Amino acid sequence: MAKRKSSETEAGLLPDADTILKLLRSASDALPTREIARTFALKGSQRSELRHRLHELEAAGRIERVQGRRWRPADTLPPVAVLEVVAVDSDGELQVKPVDSAAGAPLPEIEVMRAPRSMTAPGLGDRFLARLSPRGDNRYTAKPLRAAESEAETIVGQYRTGNDGGRILPLERGRQTELAVAPTNNVEAQDGDLVVIEVIPARRQGMTQARIVENIGAGDAPGAISRIAIHRAGIPDRFPDAVTAEADAAQPPVLGDRVDLRELPLVTIDGADARDFDDAVFAEPDTDRSTDGGWHIVVAIADVAAYVTPNSALDGEAYKRGNSAYFPDRVVPMLPEALSNGLCSLRPDEDRACVAADLWIGPDGNLRSFQFRRALMRSAARLTYEEVQAARDANQDPVAPGHLAHLYGAYKALSEARRVRGALDLELPERRIVLSDAGQVADIVPVIRLDSHRLIEEFMIAANVAAARELGKRGQPVMYRVHDEPSLEKLEGLREALSGFEINIARGGISRPGDFNGILYQVRGEAHERTVNELILRAQMQAAYSPDNLGHFGLGLRDYAHFTSPIRRYADLLVHRALIRGLGLGDGGLEDEQASQFEELGSHISNTERRAVVAERDANDRYTAAYLARHIGSNFTGTIRGVTRAGLFVAIDDKGAEGFVPASRIPGGRPRFDARTQSIESPGGGTYGLGDAVEIRVSEADGLRGSTIFDLMDSGNASSDQKKPTPRKGRSGRKRPDKRHNKRQRRR
């Protein structure tokens, strides 16, 4: 930790850049913004000035941000890094360097400790993962952890037979060159099969070769697209026998020391196709603790910690996966089906172990008090969002008189609290890929967001806040769900992009989620509403998991942790374990060893979450291309979502399906790309920019490769030097600049 007083800077005065750097170099680890401010006794507006100075140092390359709002000198090595042995002296001492060190950069002095028994001692040229401990002045101690994984490139491709051993067509966008199957290959494949291959470094002459390491099935079989996405992302999709055996051996719960909630009419509310029900809800007026119209809410969550215990085979696999991944035709679950769809799924009329959060809120929706109990419950009903909303609209109740009214009454209070604190309120349309019984894409349909969706969302947020506060109050480790405020660079990029829609924001004019909501309100109902929503979304930092409480900017919350989905997120399981330990709720609590690893755990599960998101998006893109492959030659109306020198990214309005218009297919001759305004202008005068409406024709589409090419049928927004130099309205509903008076700003 940094010292509370600085001899370099008088308390209460904003430190200069060199003083900040000196403080960061003296610290044993990266320092959060609040710790730097506390060191220099900065308060109020001074803290805002400090943040600006830190961002300036970041932009200058002198410091770097890690884990959200933590800062360290830019030349500092991370806590864990891959090292390469570059020399061994006569005494057997290793000289190593970080594999990602920049060419010409001064190498740090790294003393390597003895490798663990489970690891072969590294030698010259070997690479290994190590934990680094700084010793000051660019000197470190490295504790080897394990050998680094193979550097061989692995990709997914489609096998094609040939007289010379066969060919592999990579299923990667932008990668067209075929690869030859190596003579040493020993995995069989039939023409058209999908295969995972290891690329062999190219020889000086001849075709690049590849070795098939796995055959993942026929390319025309149902589910082929999801398999491509899963393997490209490296998501484990088969449970080891030991893991499955542990799950199969799990026994139904008994009451024991648990609180009996089986008579409480808890209900699950999920999507119609959901199979794992990990949360159930109940609400009633709070007449015991208050008389002002408050509410008592119960959120019951599957007690996964009762089955997945620390250091078990189940725990190791759950940690490895980090989370479940969802695809149009399947789920790759974090836990085996015996748990995820069985004993940990809150099925109706079956006894289930749960951790129940009792929440008491005021009529304003603010959390007044809470408690957590290990209980035995029995779901009164399995309801879908559509059923709940239809019953509410018809003033009916599928469970008991007043049951839904109480749920919606509590939701209304929570929704008001959300509005008051100014949580980010983006409205981005979601779409669902509908598959036929044969596994083909039948349609792409919009997902209608109902109040019943929002009800469950607000209940879960309230329970998550309570879990974070309970753990903080009891001094337990917390795996926070953090969402940092946007960086100055992202805000500046957004400010420039929005100016193209005549939305002018002063520098420094956005500091809270509510400021974004004001912009969103301005464009509600406008043709470019979705584009502005997307721009604001892109300006946000990525949410992550961390033991450091950075707050959740988007939700406008200071304390927030994921507690409500332990079936599908390892982060939630960690929070459950911490609650069990902190509250003395029995077996399955957090152990000291895992508690000491929260920083590494947070980094790992943040990475597995991003891995799943990338895979899910990849699969959706490929399914979308497969859908459009059945509409070759069809015309659609779309909106430009991105502009590059190479061409335009266009999304079809009613389907959300996206494709690419190469610059060569833009009418009017070779177009000119303006990097400053992020627009393309053809010699014929047509101008194309972000948010413009255009007509396209599907020219090419390949579901396995996930690529779609559009022809542009639109002549663009013609500009003329003969016209007066004032902006005009374009198809998007905003003003369209001409060639001499182009005011559209660059989008980042």
Query: Alpha-carbon distance 135 to 77, whole Å?
Result: 12
Measured CA distances, 723 to 13, 290, 737 (Å): 56, 69, 11
Instruction: Provide the CA 537 distance to its chain's centre, in angstroms.
Output: 12
CA-to-CA separations, 722 to 494, 719, 725, 736, in angstroms, rounded: 32, 9, 9, 15
384 contact partners, CB below 8 Å, separation of at least 6 = 269, 270, 271, 272
Cβ neighbours for 198, distance < 8 A, ≥ 6 positions apart: 152, 153, 154, 210, 211, 213
- On whether the CB atoms of residues 370 and 359 are closer than 8 A, the answer is yes
Residue range 349-353: average pLDDT?
A: 96
More confident residue, 79 or 259: 259
Other Cβ atoms closer than 10 A to 190: 10
Beta strand 717-718 with 686-689 is antiparallel
Question: Does position 264 have pLDDT exceeding 70, yes or no?
Answer: yes
Q: How far apart are the first and last CA of the chain?
A: 36
Cβ count near 247 (within 10 Å): 23
Which pLDDT score, from 0 to 100, does residue 716 have? Answer: 64
**Same domain, yes or no, for 600 and 459?**
yes
Question: What pLDDT, in 10s, does the model give residues 397-410?
Answer: 999 999 999 999 99
pLDDT higher than 90, residue 300: yes
Distance from CA of residue 553 to its chain's centroid?
15
CA distance 375 to 9: 55
Calculate helix-pair angle for 598-629, 313-321, nearest 10 degrees. 60
pLDDT at 56: 80
Q: Residue 373 forms beta bridges with which residues? A: 356
94 burial via Cβ count (<10 Å: 0-12, 13-18, 19+)? buried
Please name the residues in contact with 298: beta carbons below 8 A apart, sequence gap of 6 or more.
261, 264, 266, 281, 282, 283, 356, 357, 358, 359
pLDDT at position 323: 97
Estimate to the nearest angstrom the gap between the alpha carbon of 381 and the chain centroid: 31
Together in a domain, 248 and 339: yes
Same domain, 180 and 194: yes
**566 with 532, same domain?**
no
Of the three residues 147, 175, 204, the one that is the final residue of a domain is 147
Does residue 598 register a pLDDT over 80?
yes
3-state secondary structure 411-467: HHHHHHHHHHHCCCCCCCCEEEEEECCCCCEEEEEEECCCHHHHHHHHHHHHHHHHH
Residues 115, 245 share a domain: no
pTM of the full structure = 0.77
Positive or negative: CA dihedral 126, 127, 129, 133: positive
At 332, is the secondary structure helix, strand, or coil?
A: strand
Summary mean pLDDT of the chain: 85
Is the model's pLDDT at 7 over the cut of 60?
A: no
Domain identity same for 421 and 319: yes
CATH of the domain at 27: 1.10.10.10
Q: Is the pLDDT of residue 684 over 80?
A: no
The whole-angstrom separation of Cα 552 and Cα 544 is 10
CA distance 288 to 300: 20
**Residue 235 DSSP SS3:** coil
DSSP 359-422: EEE-TT--EEEEEEEEEEEEBSEEEEHHHHHHHHHTT--SSSTTHHHHHHHHHHHHHHHHHHHT
CA distance readout (Å), 26 to 6, 73, 111, 138, 155: 12, 10, 19, 11, 44
Shared domain check, 57 and 140: no
* Residue bearing tokens 């795996």: 479
**How far apart are the C-alpha atoms of 386 and 452, rounded to whole Å?**
8
Containing H/E element for 688? strand 686-689
On whether both 532 and 558 belong to a single domain, the answer is no
Same domain, 668 and 589: no
How confident is residue 743, by pLDDT bands cut at 50, 70 and 90? very low
Task: Output the six-digit token pair for 452.
Answer: 């019943």
The pLDDT, as a whole number, for residue 174 is: 66
Tell me, yes or no, whether 415 lies in a domain.
yes
pLDDT value for 739: 33
Predicted confidence at residue 586, as pLDDT, reads: 94
Instruction: Classify residue 67 as left (phi > 0), alpha (psi -120 to 50) or beta.
Output: left
200: in domain: yes
CA distance 171 to 193: 12
User: Range with the lowest mean pLDDT among 102-111, 326-335, 435-444, 569-578?
Assistant: 102-111
Q: Does residue 267 have a pLDDT over 90? A: yes
In a domain, 681, yes or no: yes
Q: What's the CATH code of the domain at 178? A: 2.40.50.640
pLDDT band at 711 (very low <50, low <70, confident <90, very high): very high
- Going by pLDDT thresholds of 50, 70 and 90, the confidence category of residue 740 is very low
| Residue with tokens 């490139």, as numbered in its chain | 153
Buried/exposed 230-245: b ≥16 CB within 10 Å, e otherwise: bbbbebeeebeeebbe
Residues 6+ apart with CB under 8 A from 221: 439
Domain that holds residue 53: 17-73
CA 454 to chain CA centroid, Å, is: 20
Helix (H/G/I), strand (E/B), else coil: 529: helix
The tokens 């019951």 sit on which residue? Answer: 300
- Asked if 579 contacts 585 with a C-beta cutoff of 8 angstroms, the reply is yes
CA distance 170 to 228: 11
Q: What is the mean pLDDT of residues 210-238?
A: 90
In the block, residue with structure tokens 């004019």: 509
The domain boundary residue, chosen from 540, 574, 607: 540
- The residue from 73, 96, 118 where one domain ends is 73
pLDDT digits (tens, 9 = 90+) for 508-565: 777 788 889 888 888 888 888 888 898 889 889 889 999 999 999 999 999 999 999 9
Question: Would the CA dihedral through 561, 566, 570, 574 be positive or negative?
Answer: positive
Residue 735: name the closest of 712, 722, 719 by CA: 719
Are residues 64 and 206 both part of a single domain? no
Residues 648 and 728 in one domain: yes
Q: Which tokens is 390 given?
A: 């239809």
Residue 746: pLDDT band with limits 50, 70, 90: very low
Does any domain span residue 646? yes
pLDDT tens per residue, range 692-707: 899 999 999 999 988 8
How buried is 135 (Cβ within 10 angstroms: 0-12 exposed, 13-18 middle, 19+ buried)? Answer: middle
Measured CA to CA, the distance from residue 465 to residue 471 in angstroms comes to 10
Whether the Cβ atoms of residue 188 and residue 181 lie closer than 8 Å to each other: no
Rounded to whole angstroms, the maximal C-alpha distance in the chain is 86
Number of domains in the chain: 6
Domain shared by 108 and 201, yes or no: no
Would you place residue 737 in the very low, low, confident or very high pLDDT band (cuts 50, 70, 90)?
A: very low
- Within a domain: residue 377? yes
Task: Please indicate, yes or no, if residue 2 is contained in any of the structural domains.
Answer: no
**What's the burial of 697, exposed, middle or buried (CB within 10 Å: 0-12/13-18/19+)?**
middle
Residue 11 lies in a domain: no
Q: Quick one: what percent of the chain has pLDDT higher than 90?
A: 48
Q: How many CB atoms lie within 10 A of CB 518?
A: 13
pLDDT of residue 554: 93
Whether residue 8 is contained in a domain is answered as no
Which helix (H) or strand (E) segment is 636 a member of? Answer: strand 635-644
The tens digit of pLDDT for each residue in 131-153 reads 888 776 677 888 888 776 555 56
Q: Rounded to the nearest 5°, which phi and psi values hold at 454?
A: -65, -35
Collapsed DSSP state (helix, strand, coil) of residue 301: strand
